[in-house]
Amino acid sequence: MSQNYLGPYKSFRDYLDALEHFGLIEHIDSINQDEYEATALMYRIIDNTKVYEAPALFFDEIRSKGKLFKHSLVGNIYGRWDFESLALGIMPIEGSPQKNYKHALNKITDHIKDNNEWRVIDPIEIQPSEASCKEVKLLGDDIDLLNFPFIQTNPEDGGCYINMGSVILKDPDLGRNIGTYRCQIKNSKKISINPQVNQDGWKFLKRMQERGEKRAAVAIVLGTDPITFSMSGSKVAKYGEDELGIAGGIIGEAIKVVKCETNDILVPANVEMVIEGSIPLDRMEEEGPFGEMYGYIGEKKEENFYMDVSAITHRNNPIFSNQFTGITRGCLTAPIEVALNQKYKKKFNDFLGLHYPLETPGFCFVNIASVSFEKAMAIGSDISKSLKIAKITVLLDSDVDIHNLHDVLHAVGSRWQPYTSSEIIEKAPGLSGDPSSTERGIGSRIVINAMKNGRQSDLEFAKTNRECLENAFPEIFDRIDSKFKDLI
């Protein structure tokens, strides 16, 4: 396998070429999304593998809304944990998704370890003539969003969506904001844009409204390199920090940007497509419903921001992507996990690391050093109240692998006493898509202390059978590994 295909990738195309090279893409000649074949196939692939082991799917042509699109559409491009290591320049070990993900986490941790800050390389502006996202320019009557395969993923969705785009806004004081929000295609020149309340993008638009502005310039970019997309889909860049600068820092090279045709927003120059326009700040429109990340259909929104499209530019033969939300993982998560680890390590000496499994949203698994029950619960309670996805926070000893669901469930089943070792929090901010919530964006939480000393008892905790074996024969597993190499 060639090292040349390792990341960090400078573009979406380079990334797809690498997935192809490593045999991580399955090609499907033709699929009929008018009968939801692509969605059902994605469910089947994930049913038969694990979310983090499933290949990416590449549909060479797709039928949607009665049209046959010759443009390619890809799905599950950020699903596998192996993709995380590839994108950071590490050769994945075959058959070891957890290890590959941990290698990605270590690489990102090393990247920020000097001063605990994300390194920033500011983007550089290039001329439009050098920008591949401008190979084709559509203005005026030539603009028609319905000419591209933005698909409807679920029969009960409100329509077709762009759900793998990055929405770029600009504020005179705060600079640029890039966020991934689902965008519903309303007609050939109108798109609904859905930053939830209090997202940075939402705050940017509210600031403009408060200043009395009538419209906000906006660009949606499709098909960024994987690291930029991870920054767009996460809070690694804090309010007012530039996602592109941090992405450049991780990639090790400045991201090239170019000015839009119809406003002065700068966008990554080598993306597949740029949709430019403006958002009216004095009007809103209904949006949805949409099959959300929890795997359930969300509510229709009565009031949502939308944009009027003023230009589309794209590469020749652009490649589109669809998330298949609620079925596949949405972006690379190693940088996000490291950013959260950094945040909670700063706050609590005894916090060792966390993981929230996207295949079962709502859980957060936390490794904690061996500390008193009270200290562990204080950490769990803080995470539970400050991290919206952590509805069920499970505290675990350092010997439990938080990236291994089986290990975690085994620890909960064997080390946790529900009555003495839990805390229920009545109300805390939650994710708006949680179908169990009784009030949008608010919900109750539970902290489960599944640590050996979490049951608050003077009784000594039993040794594991495996521990006894290793105590008696410290070299046993090394011996078995070398003696039965072929079998193992």
Ligand X SMILES: Cc1cc2nc3c(=O)[nH]c(=O)nc-3n(C[C@H](O)[C@H](O)[C@H](O)COP(=O)(O)O)c2cc1C
Select 85 or 199, whichever has its Cβ closest to ligand X.
199
Cβ 234 to ligand X shortest distance, Å: 5
| The one among 39, 64, 76, 323 contacting ligand X by CB under 6 A | 323
The region of 197-205, 215-223, 369-377, 458-466 touching ligand X under the rule CB under 6 A is 197-205
Examine residue 199 and tell whether it contacts ligand X (CB under 6 A).
yes
The 3-class secondary structure across the chain, one letter per residue, is CCHHHCCCCCCHHHHHHHHHHCCCEEEEEEEEHHHCHHHHHHHHHHHHCCHHHCCEEEEEEEEECCEEECCCEEECCCCCHHHHHHHCCCCCCCCCHHHHHHHHHHHHHHHHCCCCCCCCCCCEECCHHHCHHHCEEEEHHHCCHHHCCCCCCCCCCCCCEECCEEEEEEECCCEEEEECCCEEEEECCEEEECCCCCCHHHHHHHHHHHCCCCEEEEEEEECCCHHHHHHHCCCCCCCCCCHHHHHHHHHCCCCEEEECCCCCCEEECCCCEEEEEEEECCCCEEECCCECCCCCECCCEEEEEEEEEEEEEECCCCCEEECCECCECCCCCHHHHHHHHHHHHHHCCCEEEEECCCCCCCEEEEEECCCCHHHHHHHHHHHHHHCCCCCEEEEECCCCCCCCHHHHHHHHHHHCCCCCCEEEEEEEECCCCCCCCCECCEEEEEEEECCHHHHCCCCCCCCCHHHHHHHHCCCHHHHHHHHCCCCC
97 binds ligand X (CB under 6 A): no
> How far is residue 181 from each of residues 166, 249, 360, measured CA to CA in Å?
7, 24, 21
Shortest gap between Cβ of 194 and ligand X (angstroms)? 4
CB of 30 to ligand X, least distance (A): 25
**Sites for ligand X among residues 324-343 (CB under 6 A):** 330-331
Considering beta carbons, is residue 201 or 443 the nearer one to ligand X? Answer: 201
Pick between residue 154 and residue 199 the one whose CB is nearest to ligand X: 199
Among 98-106, 118-126, 175-183, 368-376, which window interacts with ligand X (CB under 6 A)?
175-183
298 lies in the binding site for ligand X (CB under 6 A): no
Site for ligand X in 424-463 (CB under 6 A): none
- Angstrom distance (rounded) from CA 90 to CA 5: 10
Minimum CB separation from ligand X for residue 330, in Å?
Answer: 3
Does position 279 interact with ligand X (CB under 6 A)? The reply is no
Stretch that binds ligand X, among 128-136, 228-236, 338-346, 351-359 (CB under 6 A): 228-236
Complex with ligand X: residue 165 or 380, whichever CB lies closer = 165
Q: Which is nearer to ligand X, 169 or 411 (CB)?
A: 169
Size of site (CB under 6 A) for ligand X: 19
Q: Which of 194, 328, 421, 449 binds ligand X (CB under 6 A)?
A: 194
The correct pick among 206, 235, 385, 452 for binding ligand X (CB under 6 A) is 235
- 65 contributes a contact to ligand X by CB under 6 A: no
Distance in Å, CB of 231 to ligand X, minimum: 9
- Minimum CB separation of residue 4 from ligand X in Å reads 28
Q: Does 224 bind ligand X (CB under 6 A)?
A: no
Among 82, 157, 200, 287, binds ligand X (CB under 6 A): 200
Cβ 289 to ligand X shortest distance, Å: 12
Residue 474 tokens read as 């410290």
Per-residue interface string for the shown chain with ligand X, residues 142-171, x marking contact by CB under 6 A: ---------------------xx-------
Q: How far is the CB of 325 from ligand X (least distance, A)?
A: 7
- Taking the complex as a whole, how short is the minimal distance between the CB of residue 107 and ligand X, in angstroms? 20
Cβ proximity to ligand X, 92 vs 326, nearer residue: 326
CB neighbours of 198 closer than 8 A, spacing ≥ 6? Answer: none
375 φ, ψ to 5°? Answer: -65, -45
CB contact at 8 A, 132 and 270: yes
Q: How far, in Å, are 109, 213, 230, 357, 358 from residue 338 at the CA level?
A: 6, 37, 12, 14, 15
Nearer to ligand X (CB atom), residue 163 or residue 341? 163
Interface region with ligand X, contact rule CB under 6 A, candidates 25-33, 135-143, 190-198, 470-478: 190-198
* Encoded amino acid at 479, one letter: R
Q: Six-digit token pair at 40?
A: 């059902």
Q: Is 39 in the site for ligand X (CB under 6 A)?
A: no
Tell me whether residue 71 or residue 235 sits nearer to ligand X (CB atom): 235
Residue choice 8, 201, 380, 454 for contact with ligand X (CB under 6 A): 201
How many other C-beta atoms can be found within 10 angstroms of the C-beta atom of residue 263? 17
Among 181, 294, 306, 348, indicate the residue that binds ligand X (CB under 6 A).
181
Minimum gap (Å) between residue 329 Cβ and ligand X: 8
Footprint on this chain of ligand X (rule: CB under 6 A): 163-164, 177, 179-182, 194-196, 199-201, 233-235, 323, 330-331
